A and B are shown apart, each in its own frame.
Chain A
Amino acid sequence: MDRHMLGRTANGLFWMFRYLERVENTARLIDAAQRMALTRDIVSAAEEWRSVIETLGQRISYESKHGTYTGVQAWNFLLRDRDNPANLHALMRSVRTNARAVRTAISSELWTAINESWMEIDDALSRPIAQSNLGDVIKLIKRAGTLAHGAVANSMLRDAGFNFARAGTFVERADSTARVLDMKYYLLLPSVSYVGSSLDAGQWDQLLRSVSGDRAFRWLNAGKADARGIVEFLILDERFPRSLAYSYSLLRQNLTTLSRLHGTEGRASELIRDSATALADLTIDAVFDEGLHQFLTGFQRRNAEIGNAIAEDYRFLA
C-alpha cells in the first residue's frame, strides 16, 4: 500500500464521526430525560434536566442564560440555542462541514445520507421545539446516525479512512457512555446500592435509555435490575455496542489496522492496547473498590489521551 490519505482528511473523518456520535448521544440523553421528567414532580424533573446539561458540560452557559431548569428551556438550549456552543444544530453542521471537506474520501451514499439528514435537521430546528413535536425531532436525529452508519457499512472502502471514521465513533462513544454513567454515579454508590435493593427503577431505566440499552439489558437480565448489573453491563459487557468494553475492543481493532496499513505502530496503539487489556481483565468488584466516579474520571482522561495520540500519530495537523 503506497498511497496514504492526507492528515487533514484523516482528521476530518475522525471528527465527522465524533460529532455524529455526539449528535446521537445528545438526542438520546434528551429523549431519556424527557421520559423521566414526565413521571416526576417539578423539583425532580428540574434536577433531571440539570444533570443532563451538566453531563454535556454546558451548565455554565445554561445558567448564565436561564435561572431555572425546565424541560422546554433545556431541550431548546441543547438542540438549537446559539448561546450553547455545543448545540445539536451546530454539531450537525460540523458533521456536514467535515463531510464536505472530506468529500473525496467518503462514498456518495454516505455523503448523500449526511447531506439529506442535515437538510432535514436544519429545517426541523429552525423553529423552537414544543413538547408535542420533540419526539419527532429526536427520531429524525437518531435516524441520521442510523443512515450514516448504514452507508458506511454498505459502501465505504475498508481502507485507512474507514478506520479513522470508526476510531472517531468509538473514542466519542466511550467518552459519552462514561459521562452518562458518571451522571448517576451517586445513585450507584456502594453504600446505597451495592446490595441492590434501593435503586429507583425510574432512575436506572433512564440511565439505560440514555444509551439505548434498556431493551438489551432487560433481555439479558430477564427484568432483574440492580446497580451492579447495570454498571457491569455498561462497562464490561462486550455484547452491548455502547459499552466501554465493546467500544475499546473495536477501537483497538481500528488502531491495529491503521498500524498495519502504515507499517509502524504509534503511541495511540500502545495506549489502546494497554487500556483494552486492562478493561478485559477488569472485574466489577474492582470498579466498585476503586470507586465508580474515580474509575470513570480516570477512564475519560485516558480516553482523551488516546484521541490526542491518534491526531499526533497520523499528522492530523500541520
Chain B
Amino acid sequence: MTGAAETFDEMFDPAGEVRSGYADYCVWYDEQEVELLRRKHKEAEASFRRTGITFNVYGEHDAEERLIPFDMVPRIITAREWRRLTRGIEQRVSALNAFIHDLYHRQEITRSGRLPQRLLTGNEAWLANMVGFTPPGGVYTHIVGIDLVRTGPDDFFVLEDNARTPSGVSYMLENRETMMAMFPELFTRVPVATVSDYPRRLARSLAACAPKMTAGKPTIAVLTPGIYNSAYYEHAFLADQMGAELVEGCDLRVVNGRVAMRTTMGYEPIDVLYRRVDDEFLDPLTFNPDSVLGVPGIMDVYRSGGITIANAPGTGIADDKAIYSFMPEIVEFYTGEKPLLPNVETHRCADPESLKYVLDNLEELVVKEVHGSGGYGMLIGPTASKKEIRHFRHKLESKPENYIAQPTLALSTCPIFTNKGLSPRHLDLRPFVLVSPDNVEIVPGGLTRVALKKGSLVVNSSQGGGTKDTWVLKD
C-alpha cells in the first residue's frame, strides 16, 4: 500500500487493533494506573535534569541548557523489520564510503556521467586537500546516522544521510537507561535488544581504524569545541563511556610530527581523533585561520599518516541534499545492486522542468536548502503562510540550484503520553552505523525523534521535537 493517503500508525492498525510488535507492551500499559504514569513522566524529566543530559541553545546566554523532552512510550521495531532495515543501511553506507573515496580519487562517477560534475566544483563541503589521499583503513565515514521515515508497513525511506558528524547517540543510550530505571519490569516482559554496548563497539571500531604507525593499544580522544557547544553533553558522555580522553583544541599541538595532547606529564601522541568539530575549524593553517577549536598543522600530520580523523575531513559532501537526490544511482554504481532502501522522491530545482513543477506546487511540497541541516531554511508547503510561500518562490527563482523539493510525506505516527492519555504524533528514526576497514555494524536501536505538537511534521530538537526510546525486538 505504497503512497497511502492515510497516516500509518506504528502501534495501531486502521481497525484499531494493536500491531504485533506492540502487543506485550500494550498489555503492560493497560495494567498501569494513569496517575502513576503521570508521576513517572515528571520523574523522568527531573532525572534528566539531575544527570545533566541537556543541550545548549545557540545564541542564548543565560538559561543556556535545555532538556530535550522525553516521551516514555517506546517506539518498537520488530526483528523482521530491523533485519530488512539493516541490510538496506549496510548497503547504503558501503556505497557512501566508496563514493567519497571515488570523489577524492578518480571520480569515476562523474566521468561516467551518473553524477553532474557541477555538484562537486564550487561545493564548500568538497575539500581539495583530500584529493589523492586515502584515510587509514580506507574509511571515511566511521560513524553515520541514516534518517529514516516510514509511510506504510513496508515503506521505509531514507530522508537524509548524516555522514559528517551525526549526533544524538547519547540520547539513544540515556533514553534506554531512563526507561530501565523507570519501568524495570517492562524489560523482563518484552524481549528488547540491548544498545548499551554501543560505546564499546565505537571504541573498538575507531581503534580498528588507527594509523599503521600506532604502537600498541591506540590512544583515542574525542575533540569537542567545549562546554558551551550544543552537544557537549554527548561529547563528554561518549568519551567517558569509551574511556577516551575528551580534548579541546587548546589541549593539542603538533609535536614531532604527531598530534599530541598536553598531559600533566607533557605532550603525548593521539592515534585516533573522534572529532566533533566541523571541517572548517579543524586546522587554522589549512581552513578557517581564525579557528581556535582546531589544531594548527593537523592536516599535514593526517596526510602523512600520523593520525586518524573520524569522520574524515571532506565527508560532509555526502550530506549535501543535491547529492542525496542521486543516492539511488550512487548505490547502484558502487554496489552493482538495486538500492534496498529507497530515497524520498526528490525534485532538483537546478533542473528547469523540476523547477517549474516545484513552483507550480509549492503548497504541497517541502523545499530544502541543499546545504542546510537541522530543519533550518526549509519550507513546509502545506503549513506555510502565503507570505512564506511568496518568499520562497523568490528564493527559488533567483537561486534554483540551491534547493531541492520533496512531497510532504505522511510520516508514520506513534502515540506519546499526554495528560489525556495516548495521542499519536509523527516521528522518524536515526539508526547509528559504525564503519571500520572490514566491518559495518549497526546497534539494534537508534534515535527516534518525535514531533510533540499535534499534526506537526518537524521532529528536530531545535524546533520543539522530543525523543523516544527505540526498541528493536529480539527474535
Contact = CB atoms under 8 A, between A and B. Distances in A.
A95 interface: no
A101 B263 CA distance: 15
Nearest to A111: B52
Contacts of B265: 4, 262, 315
Contacts of B49: 119
B264 A112 contact: no
B172 to A, nearest CB: 18
A272 interface: no
Nearest to A103: B236
B266 interface: yes
Interface stretch (A5-13, A19-27, A293-301): A5-13
A103 B54 CA distance: 14
Given A8-B248, A115-B51, A100 B227 contact: yes
Given A4-B268, A103-B236, A315 B262 contact: yes
B264 A104 contact: no
A7 B263 CA distance: 5
A77 to B, nearest CB: 21
A205 to B, nearest CB: 38
B246 A7 contact: no
A138 B83 CA distance: 58
Contacts of B50: 112, 115-116, 119
Given A4-B264, A318-B250, A104 B227 contact: no
B247 interface: yes
A314 interface: yes
Contact of B263 (A6, A97, A116): A6
A262 B246 contact: no
B262 A160 contact: no
Interface in B239-279: 239-240, 244-248, 250-251, 253, 261-266, 268
Contact of A6 (B232, B240, B247): B247
B47 to A, nearest CB: 10
A124 to B, nearest CB: 16
A103 B240 CA distance: 8
A92 to B, nearest CB: 15
Interface residues of A, number: 23
Given A100-B227, A115-B50, A315-B266, A6 B261 contact: yes
Given A6-B262, A115-B52, A119-B50, A101 B251 contact: no
Contact of B262 (A7, A100, A115): A7
A121 to B, nearest CB: 14
B51 A104 contact: no
A262 B268 CA distance: 14
Interface-centre pick from B49, B240, B263 (highest chain A CB count, 10 A): B263
Interface in B153-167: none
Contacts of B248: 8
A7 B261 CA distance: 9
A160 B265 CA distance: 11
A115 B50 CA distance: 6
Contact of B240 (A4, A104, A318): A104
Contacts of B245: 6, 104
Interface in A86-140: 97, 100-101, 103-104, 108, 111-112, 115-116, 119
A259 to B, nearest CB: 11
A103 B52 CA distance: 11
Interface in B205-258: 226-227, 232, 236, 239-240, 244-248, 250-251, 253
A104 to B, nearest CB: 4
B263 A4 contact: yes
A104 B236 CA distance: 6
Contacts of A160: 264
Nearest to B246: A104
B454 to A, nearest CB: 31
A5 B52 contact: no
B264 A100 contact: no
A86 B246 CA distance: 29
A160 B51 CA distance: 25
Nearest to B266: A315
A8 B227 contact: no
A6 B261 CA distance: 7
A101 B225 CA distance: 11
A8 B267 CA distance: 12
A205 B210 CA distance: 63
Interface string A131-162: 00000000000000000000000000000100
A76 B261 CA distance: 43
Given A8-B250, A111-B52, A112-B51, A262 B264 contact: yes
A193 to B, nearest CB: 46
Contact of B251 (A8, A100, A103, A104): A8
Interface string A71-86: 0000000000000000
Contacts of A104: 236, 239-240, 244-246
Contacts of B232: 100
Given A97-B227, A103-B246, A8 B236 contact: no
B262 A8 contact: yes
Contacts of A5: 263-264
Interface in A206-252: none
A100 B264 CA distance: 19
Contacts of A315: 262-266
A108 B248 CA distance: 21
B236 A314 contact: no
Contacts of A119: 49-50
Interface string B295-331: 0000000000000000000000000000000000000
Interface-centre pick from A5, A7, A10, A111 (highest chain B CB count, 10 A): A7
A191 B117 CA distance: 93
A6 B221 CA distance: 11
Nearest to B222: A104
Contacts of B226: 101
Contacts of B247: 6
A7 B239 contact: no
A318 B50 CA distance: 33
Interface string A253-297: 000001000100000000000000000000000000000000000
Interface of A: 4-8, 10, 97, 100-101, 103-104, 108, 111-112, 115-116, 119, 160, 258, 262, 314-315, 318
8 contacts: A8-B248, A97-B227, A100-B232, A103-B240, A112-B50, A115-B51, A115-B52, A160-B264
| Closest 5 pairs between A and B when the two form their complex, measured CB to CB | A4-B263, A314-B264, A103-B236, A4-B265, A104-B240
Given A8-B251, A103-B246, A262-B264, 5 more contacts: A4-B265, A10-B264, A103-B236, A115-B51, A318-B253
